[in-house]
């Protein structure tokens, strides 16, 4: 009886040690919490450093707003107010606005786009795409710029996008009678491949909702059976949709707590890459990403973001 107890005790200790061993799965946040913000100059690259910032909520901002292809004046510098224990930072322009409510626990971010201030088309005749993104001012954890580094897709067990979000879209007024009218929220991952020469970059955008009007295309009309590439040369980029990864698209204006593993979509996107793009998962590492809004035409979009995290799970 004593021997059997000792044997079972040794087995129990072995199981506990195995569970606590370095081989056990680990979770790591690749970005800092939402706190401390800056505004990047229009169309400045997301990888740009403080030289591209023209306004910030304090020293050493951890996050920055990008305003790509904004129509008209850029976002104003931040104005500051107080609501109870929250400090409120706002920046606005005819085509977009940002509101940040920050306290010791973190920040809630509201991003808005106003299609009434945006032309229907560019000078070349293409539908005018306007982007309002939020991204970390530093690379993802583990990344050494310009060198093979960071978390490789081949080594990850999961890559989770975690956020509580609501998105509300409606026709903007006054309408301009644009023929392409779409708007919504995206979560995006940026991957880097330094094994390929020259090095390659890949943007993966996951669309979270669908708002369509007029002769909309893209996320509105596509039968989504796989990720679809919107640029088939370096830097590469593809779109995907939340519903293809097993969760329904966000309903208009209703908050939802999302916790979605985007690794299956990323792996499928790399496997179906266009010619010239490296398809080896062991060569692609997570270098960064962004969240925010994309819109075209007569659309007004409002989004609220709380508790955003990008979590890498390794074995």
Q: What is the pLDDT of residues 145-197, one digit of tens each?
A: 888 788 999 999 999 999 999 999 999 999 999 989 999 999 999 999 999 99
Q: pLDDT at residue 119 above 90?
A: yes
Structure tokens at 298: 């007569």
Domain, as residue range, for 128:
24-314
The answer to the question of residue 11 being in a domain is no
The answer to the question of residue 75 being in a domain is yes
pLDDT band at residue 109 using 50, 70 and 90 as cut-offs? very high
Angle at 184 between CA 187 and CA 36, to 5 degrees: 50
pLDDT band at residue 11 using 50, 70 and 90 as cut-offs? very low
**CA end-to-end distance (rounded Å), the chain:** 38
Strands 200-207, 236-241: pairing kind: parallel
Structure tokens at 82: 């107080």
The answer to the question of residue 63 being in a domain is yes
Residue 139 DSSP symbol: P
The CATH number of the domain holding residue 291 is: 2.60.120.180
Count of domains observed in the chain: 1
The answer to the question of residue 176 being in a domain is yes
Higher per-residue pLDDT: 140 or 1: 140
The answer to the question of residue 92 being in a domain is yes
The answer to the question of residue 12 being in a domain is no
Q: pLDDT at residue 6 above 60?
A: no
Q: pLDDT at residue 203 above 80?
A: yes
pLDDT digits (tens, 9 = 90+) for 227-269: 999 999 999 999 999 999 999 999 999 999 999 999 999 999 9
The answer to the question of residue 234 being in a domain is yes
């Amino acid at each position: 009886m004593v021997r059997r107890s000792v044997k079972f005790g040794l087995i129990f200790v072995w199981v506990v040690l195995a569970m606590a061993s370095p081989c056990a799965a680990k979770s790591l946040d690749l970005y800092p919490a939402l706190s401390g913000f800056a505004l990047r100059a229009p169309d400045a690259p997301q990888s740009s450093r403080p030289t591209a910032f023209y306004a910030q909520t304090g020293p050493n901002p951890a996050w920055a707003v990008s305003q790509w292809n904004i129509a008209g004046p850029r976002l104003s510098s931040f104005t500051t107010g107080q609501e109870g224990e929250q400090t409120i930072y706002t920046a606005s322009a005819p085509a977009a606005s940002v509101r940040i409510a920050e306290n010791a626990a973190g920040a809630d971010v509201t991003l808005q786009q106003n299609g009434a201030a945006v032309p229907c088309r560019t000078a070349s005749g293409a539908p005018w795409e306007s982007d309002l993104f939020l991204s970390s001012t530093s690379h993802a954890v583990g990344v050494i710029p310009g060198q093979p580094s960071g978390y490789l897709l081949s080594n990850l067990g999961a890559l989770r996008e975690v956020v509580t979000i609501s998105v509300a879209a409606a026709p903007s007024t006054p309408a301009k009678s644009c023929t392409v009218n779409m708007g919504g929220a995206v979560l995006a991952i940026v991957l880097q491949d330094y094994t390929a020469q020259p090095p390659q970059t890949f943007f993966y955008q996951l669309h979270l909702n669908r708002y369509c009007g007029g002769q909309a295309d893209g996320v509105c009309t596509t039968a989504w059976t796989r990720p679809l590439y919107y640029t088939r040369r370096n830097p590469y980029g593809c779109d995907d949709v939340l519903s293809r990864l097993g969760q329904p698209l966000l309903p208009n204006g209703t908050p939802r707590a999302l916790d979605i593993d985007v690794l299956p979509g990323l792996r499928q996107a790399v496997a179906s890459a266009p010619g010239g793009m490296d398809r080896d998962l062991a060569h692609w590492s997570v270098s960064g990403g962004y969240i925010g809004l994309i819109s075209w035409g007569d659309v007004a979009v409002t989004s609220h973001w709380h508790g955003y995290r990008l979590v890498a799970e390794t074995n």
